[in-house]
Copies of this chain bind each other. A is one copy, B any other.
Amino acid sequence: MALEQSLAALSLATVSSESATPTKTLVFKPKTAKTATPVPVIVFALQSTQTPSNVIAKAAGVKEPRLAKEDLIQEFFATSPKEFSIANLNKDSAAKVKFVIDESIVKAPEDTVLELSTESSKASLPAKIVVSFLESIGVDLIAVDFSADELTEVAPKKEVKKKDKDAAKIEDAKLIGINVDKAKDFSTWYSQVVTKGEMLDYYDVSGCYILRPNSYFVWETIQDWFNIRIKKMGVKNSYFPMFVSSRVLEKEKDHIEGFAPEVAWVTRAGSSELEEHIAIRPTSETVMYPYYSKWVRSHRDLPLKLNQWNSVVRWEFKHPQPFLRTREFLWQEGHTAHLTRAEATEEVDQILDLYAGIYEELLAVPVIKGKKTENEKFAGGDYTTTVEGYIAATGRGIQGATSHHLGTNFSKMFDISVENPEGADKPKVFAFQNSWGLSTRVIGVMVMTHSDNKGLVLPPRVAQNQVVVIPVGITSKTTDEERKAINDGAAIIEKRLKYADIRALGDYRDIYSPGWKFSDWELKGVPLRVEFGPKDMKQEQVTVVRRDNGEKSVVKLADLEKRIPEVLDQIQYSLLANARKEFDEHRVIVNEWKDFVPTLNAKNVILSPWCGDADCEDDIKDSSAKKDDGEDEEVDEKAPSMGAKSLCIPKEQPTLKEGQKCVKCDRAAVNYCMFGRSY
């Protein structure tokens, strides 16, 4: 592979820099017993550095290293000595060599750019990137100060590694793209996308994560969208304390039972033990409903509709996962009380529609609306409605958000009641309650759905930066005047876009090549790239490249304000359409049990006629967890259960044939239920 191609494969575009420092890459073969496999020693140094073989021998701990011949290089790196460069290294070959690096490279000033060359190609790269790349493929760097008077190894291997480890990680995250395949190692891929896409960072306290601006912006957009709509429905925002006294929390034994093992307890303040231990809310029913009881005195106080945007804490001991399972997470929780059941249940549906809207209109993630089975519903409620998503890469379903009708279960526990409007002699009326919540998990679902091996893909409506403007085509032959014209032109384009309410930003950093910038912004998920170069200038146009599909087109400067929003809309639309197609293709009707597990194993969720019986549901779960098809299932430790859970009873139902039996048992089916492995 040529050097450029190889680097391009690493998402590293070449840097055209006159000031790049030339380097050399040499391969040595040490003296080796004839029966043993030789361990080549690669020396990577500045062109100007003298690299005596006795220093190399000492540093690498080998005897009599000599420049390797063609056959060895061909054998180890499948290339000729003239074409060999560090780009020929990969994880496999890295494990088989020793690697001596010039300390001048490791300790180079941050902005240093190196020139790597072979006989047929040449490329310039920031030194940090080169080091990061080497670290990333698992090379053990032996840094050597060739200039030292004493021919000693000045920086022992371990020390260098430690010293540069953090830096490598950071530069890695920043400069080098995703290095695993979404299809092959989904879990590592996801972790890389969310961190390198700067959505989130891992935090010192396990299970807690930092929401960086790139993801918090998504959350703010959701907040704005949802607030406008719930306020129209008469819901008001408020804030209740994060603490619940143990007395109050434990009063509602049935309710708290599910949460108890996950409740975080404050027992001490400063150096004082608290007399009564205080819980951090895992959810706010017991926080809010005593006050609902107090505030609701007359039927005129109903409906009472409050929502809050807050964080809750569930100290899960399962493996945490960014956005999806975190010990503290942000959400909104709406809690409403109504005079009539009809009014309450109408609201449950309205909210579910809003949740579907957040997924589909903002995040471009298709969802299926439905009702949870008795097994899967919120224990305290009458019924639970849900929007369910699908992660194509793993073939699993994922719960999106839930809207519960609580009936009068809680109002009876907490005495949220009013005198009967029909007369004080009639029995008092308990309020009909709903609760509904949507959390930052939505962001994880969005990332899993759209992002790819180049990094994050953000739908335009929730992207902090919708457009990045990059000046291109500036070479060593470009005159100062031309360079200025291009840069100024790009800046004007950025301004015009901003003025048209498009969230645009320009990248005018001259240390990086356009190609490097392309990769960087692709990694961060910016939906649209606008390139502006000499040819564009001449033709009064920009070249635009879509992040979602790489499609390139040209927009006349005169049409900028009209055309760019259209392209952004197209991207938003395509993302949803493609994800919907994928979901539709992997939501398979299965009427007979024999097809159930094979269909599941083919990364599908399943629609099956079902009897509605809870035991049967358990049976389906158990049976689908077994290797019924004789094949080994892929083992994924992070799956809460490898059996198929019921995801929901979809609102839109396939027509049930007369006399249709349950997919699993002999009972008559009452409806179609969606089953799947899930998060």
Most-contacted residue by chain B among A169, A174, A278, A423 (CB, 10 A): A278
Interface string of A625-653 (1 = CB under 8 A from B): 00000000000000000000000000000
Query: Taking the full assembly, how many copies of this chain does it contain?
Result: 2
Query: Which chain B positions have C-beta within 8 A of A219?
Result: 239
At the interface, yes or no: A260 with Cβ under 8 Å from chain B?
yes
- The prevalent SS among residues of A at the interface is mixed
Say whether A243 contacts B208, CB under 8 Å.
Answer: yes
At the interface, yes or no: A659 with Cβ under 8 Å from chain B?
no
Say whether B267 contacts A315, CB under 8 Å.
Answer: no
Say whether A203 contacts B266, CB under 8 Å.
Answer: no
Given A205-B243, A242-B328, A423-B109: A237 and B266 interface contact (C-beta under 8 Å): no
Query: How far apart are the CA atoms of A513 and B414 in the complex, in Å?
Result: 32
The count of residues in chain A whose C-beta lies closer than 8 Å to any C-beta of chain B is: 73
Say whether B243 contacts A297, CB under 8 Å.
Answer: no
Contact for A211 among B167, B239, B272, CB less than 8 A? B239
Of residues 266 to 307 in A, which have CB atoms within 8 Å of B's CB atoms? Answer: 266-272, 277-278, 280, 290-291, 294-295, 297-298, 300, 306
Contact for A315 among B239, B270, B294, B419, CB less than 8 A? B270
Interface string of A187-231 (1 = CB under 8 A from B): 000000000000001011100111111001101100000000000
Say whether B241 contacts A205, CB under 8 Å.
Answer: yes
Query: Which chain B positions have C-beta within 8 A of A297?
Result: 110, 167, 170-171, 174
At the interface, yes or no: A550 with Cβ under 8 Å from chain B?
no
Contact for A236 among B108, B201, B208, B213, CB less than 8 A? B213
At the interface, yes or no: A180 with Cβ under 8 Å from chain B?
no
At the interface, yes or no: A265 with Cβ under 8 Å from chain B?
yes
Say whether A260 contacts B270, CB under 8 Å.
Answer: yes
Most-contacted residue by chain B among A217, A268, A269, A311 (CB, 10 A): A269
Query: How far apart are the CA atoms of A317 and B280 in the complex, in Å?
Result: 19
Give me 30 A-to-B residue pairs in the complex whose CB atoms sit less than 8 angstroms apart, sorted by A's number: A108-B424, A110-B297, A110-B298, A111-B298, A167-B297, A170-B294, A170-B297, A171-B297, A204-B248, A205-B244, A205-B245, A209-B241, A210-B238, A210-B240, A211-B238, A213-B237, A213-B238, A216-B236, A217-B236, A217-B237, A219-B239, A260-B270, A261-B270, A263-B270, A264-B268, A265-B266, A265-B269, A269-B315, A300-B511, A310-B311
Other than the known A208-B243, A216-B237, A264-B266, what 9 A-B pairs have Cβ atoms closer than 8 Å?
Answer: A167-B297, A203-B240, A204-B245, A204-B290, A205-B241, A211-B238, A242-B313, A263-B270, A300-B511
